[in-house]
Amino acid sequence: MEKALINIKEIGRKYVIGSEVIHALKSVSLDIHKGEFVALMGPSGSGKSTLMNILGCLDTPSKGDYILNGINVSQMSDNALAEVRNKEIGFVFQTFNLLPRSTSLDNVALPLIYAGANKKDRDARAQKALENVGLGNRVTHKPNELSGGQRQRVAVARALINNPSIILADEPTGNLDTKTSIEIMGLLEEIHSKGNTIILVTHEEDIAQHAHRIVRMRDGLIENDYLNTDIKTVSPRLNSLKERGDDFESIG
């Protein structure tokens, strides 16, 4: 078997608050291979947010090793972590995290500025990325001129712009209605079908069922890690919406 894209070995994360020590993660080990679609679940306080931050190179473990695409990122400096994030990880957040005064094109092109691409290349690649998510006709629109679903599509296009090793989606449907959530999950399914690795953080059981593997956390530990034998796909749910006469955006 090929080496894991993500290899976490006995990582822990503790926080010291006054005289109290909080162990948010306790000796967690996890392998994720290229092309997997993994849902990370758990109640509040389970450690899933802490693990997500470490997976996304937004934080480092207090102990243990995190090997990402062959690189040990466990004890990297903040600047080194920022470089790894921009190259290896595409983020999709619940709150979209778009620049409010920038167009869709400029929001999507932002990671390319950090990567040192020239403006002509940035604009061409951002235009293509927006077309790939069905927003080729929204390149000059600012976030306040877009629906919630369209904003999340812009965020997905931005996440993909650098061809990252991992798409890390943190509650990507959390601020969306049912119909729009289905559309965004359809987009993630399509991205996964092209060989991309997706880690989906969610508290919603029906959203997690789109993943091929589910990792459940509790009290800073992995409680369960299993293959999903009842994978949901978007097509039947979209067909149901069509039959009801609901309006929806095409999945790009």
Residue 188: closest CA among 162, 214, 217, 155: 155
Examine residue 231 and state whether it is found in any structural domain, yes or no. Answer: yes
Domain assignment of residue 26, yes or no: no
Task: Examine residue 55 and state whether it is found in any structural domain, yes or no.
Answer: yes
The answer to whether residue 189 is domain-embedded is yes
Q: What is the pLDDT along the chain (252 residues), one digit of tens a residue?
A: 678 999 999 999 999 999 999 999 999 999 999 999 999 999 988 999 999 999 999 999 999 999 999 999 998 999 999 999 989 999 999 889 999 999 999 999 999 988 888 999 999 999 999 999 999 999 999 999 999 999 999 999 999 999 999 999 999 998 898 888 988 999 999 999 999 999 999 989 999 999 999 999 999 999 999 999 999 888 655 555 545 544 445 444
Sheet strands (E) in 178-220: 197-201, 213-218
Please check whether residue 164 lies inside any domain of the structure.
Answer: yes
- Flag whether 158 is in a domain: yes
Instruction: Please state the length of the chain.
Output: 252
Residue 8 lies in a domain: no
Residue pair 178/4 in contact (Cβ under 8 Å)? The answer is no
Looking up residue 92, the CATH number of its domain turns out to be 3.40.50.300
- Reference 191, options 133, 104, 138; nearest CA is 133
- Predicted local confidence at residue 244, as pLDDT: 52
User: Model pTM?
Assistant: 0.88
Q: Provide the number of structural domains found in the chain.
A: 1
In a domain, 17, yes or no: no
Query: Within 10 Å of residue 215's Cβ, how many Cβ atoms?
Result: 23
pLDDT for position 234: 84
User: Which range marks the domain in which residue 144 is found?
Assistant: 35-60+77-244
